[in-house]
Structure formats: structure tokens, C-alpha cells
Amino acid sequence: MENAGGSKQEGGRMKDIRLIAVLLPIIACGQVDDRTDPVVKRQSSLGSEIILYETAQSTVVQDGDWIRWRFIDKLSDSPEQLVYRGTRGEQGGCVFNRSGSSKGAVQDVVIIERTIAVNMNQCLMESERATLLESDAVARGLLPVEETKAGDQFTGAAQAGGSELQLQTAGNFSGSYRTLLQDILGITTTAVRSNVDWSTNGSCMLGWHRWWDWYKLTGSGWSIGTNGERGTTSGTLPCNDIWQQSWAFFSNWFFCGFTPTFADHADVQFHAFSDGTSSYSSSTNWYGACYWLLHFTDAYDPN
């Protein structure tokens, strides 16, 4: 009986060994296989961070609750660093406002501001901003040009006032302000822009026209909702401040595992002044299941 019991015990051990023989390699592989895991962890100076995506242009990492974009191509040698605390939005997410102005009638420059870190749990966003020669910004690919290739673009009818513009002469200016949301692949998903052309004698406006446009990436589920614009009344000629305000709301139900993500370019404003300067402001809110994968780039062409 004792031996029979021992034999049973041996048989049980054999079964265990066979089971382990079958499972061990699978378990061992399971320890290092990340087929369903999109992320890789590595140690940083701050602790463990997760690489979400890496391209020739940037690396996107998750560092605790922060998502950080590390761009290979610096905006400038010493870009201005800005940290924003947004406000909790009505539909969730955070509303971030930006604003700025040009200091003089300096032409052929563009001011780029782009997100470098976001913490949606704390409603915080860090960005970097620099003034660049427009030709340099275009050559370096800092002004996205996707709208010519892979998206739907709408340009609103222009409104105008005063004398007809003669843009080649002195005292004539052309400015715009555009907010874009880009995903972690660096693709522009949605964008809204306010544009104003104006001519001035230095103290009052002589003529102007204004218009707006929006863009959305095609083939990826983005659709446009509420949108519109307003600004200086057509046919009038204020002495100072020609303005254009534009807005558009976008949604995507396929972007993130069939759960909705929203991008609300709620207020994109450009103001042109008679001394040739201008100012801009915007209010952008993005929310939904995968809003943390989006970040913005603003392009402000002062005049």
C-alpha cells in the first residue's frame, strides 16, 4: 500500500513536471513578450518613464501623469518656456487659453508655440515658444503643411472694408493665427486659422479683408461639428483694430478604441492694428478617452 501510494505520488510529480515542461517556456516568454503592450519602460533621471512613441522628430514619453514630447529639432537655442494652468472644462478635460502680441511691425517672422508636456489630471500644460524667420520655419517643417495632402480644408468667404488692398506697397500687412492639434504620430488632426490682411497709413486703417479656414485629417474618423466665425463688419472702416474670430468643434469616435475624443478650437482670434502690430488669443479644449494623446502647435504670423 505504501509503495502504491509512493507510485501515485511519483505519478503526480511526473504530471507536474510535464505540465511545467509545457508551460515554462510559455511563461518565460510571457515575461518579456509585450505584443499587446504598446509601451517600453526605461529609467530617467526622474524615475521610470514609458516611451509611447519615437520618431525621427520626437519622442513621446509618459512620466507619471505627464505626457512629454521631446523634439529633436529645438525651436531655438533658448525658447521661452511657458507653464499653463487651464480651467476645468464643462465637458471634462481642460480649457487652455493662450495669447500674445507683436512688439513691432517686423515682417517675415512667425511665432511658434508648441506643447512639450501635458498633465491633464492637474490641468497643466508646458509649452515652448520662439520667434523664427518664416522661411526658416517652413524649411525646418515647423509649419505643418498636411492640409495640401491628406485632409479636408474649408476656407470661409472673405469680408472686406475700405479701399482695395495693394499688398506690395509699404503699410500693407498680412497676418494670421492658427491653432493645430497633433497626435503622437506628429500628424495634424484638426486646425483652425484666423487671417487678416490690412493696409494703414500708420495711424488709421485704409483697407482690410479677413477670412478664416479650418482643416481636419481625412480617413481617420474626424468629423466637424459646430463651427463659425465673426469679426469686423463688412463694408466698415474702423480706424484701429480689424479682428477675426473663428471656432470649430471636431469629434472622432474611432481614434481611440471606439470611444469618443473631442477637439474644441473654441476661440481663435487675430486682431490687426493701425500701427502694423497685431495680437492673438485662443481657447482650446480637447477631451474624451484619448485626449491625452493630442497636443497643440500654434503658429502666429504677426504681419
Partner 1 sequence: VNVGMNRLRLSTTNTATWSCVIVATFSILFMGSCRRDQEPRVTKSALQRCIAKTGYEGAGDASPAVMAAARACAEKYITKPTVQLWAQKPGTSVPLDVRRDGDRVFVEAFLNCAKQKGMEVEVEQAGGGSIRIKARNGRNTTPIDSTDPAFLACTNSAEKAEHDRLLPFL
Which 246-275 residues touch partner 1, going by CB under 8 A? 254-257, 267
CB nearer partner 1, residue 129 or residue 209: 129
Q: Is 290 in the site for partner 1 (CB under 8 A)?
A: yes
Grid coordinates given for 42:
526605461
CB nearer partner 1, residue 31 or residue 169: 31
With contacts defined by CB under 8 A, how many residues of the chain interact with partner 1? 96
Minimum CB separation from partner 1 for residue 143, in Å? 12
Please tell me the distance from the alpha carbon of residue 170 to that of residue 20, in angstroms, as a whole number: 83
Rg, Å, the chain Cα set: 27
Judged by DSSP in three states, 141 sits in coil
Q: Is 223 in the site for partner 1 (CB under 8 A)?
A: no
The helix (run of H) or strand (run of E) holding residue 13 is: helix 2-32
| Residues between 168 and 187 with contacts to partner 1, criterion CB under 8 A | 182-187
Task: Give the residue from 158, 184, 171 showing the smallest Cα distance to 50.
Answer: 184
Candidates 159-167, 201-209, 284-292, 294-302; binding stretch for partner 1 (CB under 8 A): 284-292
CB nearer partner 1, residue 44 or residue 155: 44
CB nearer partner 1, residue 99 or residue 233: 99
Please tell me the distance from the alpha carbon of residue 179 to that of residue 194, in angstroms, as a whole number: 9
Q: Is 139 in the site for partner 1 (CB under 8 A)?
A: no
Place of cell 481614434: 255
Which of 8, 12, 13, 104: binder of partner 1 (CB under 8 A)? 13
Burial class (CB in 10 A: 0-12, 13-18, 19+), 148: exposed
Which of 8, 12, 48, 91: binder of partner 1 (CB under 8 A)? 91
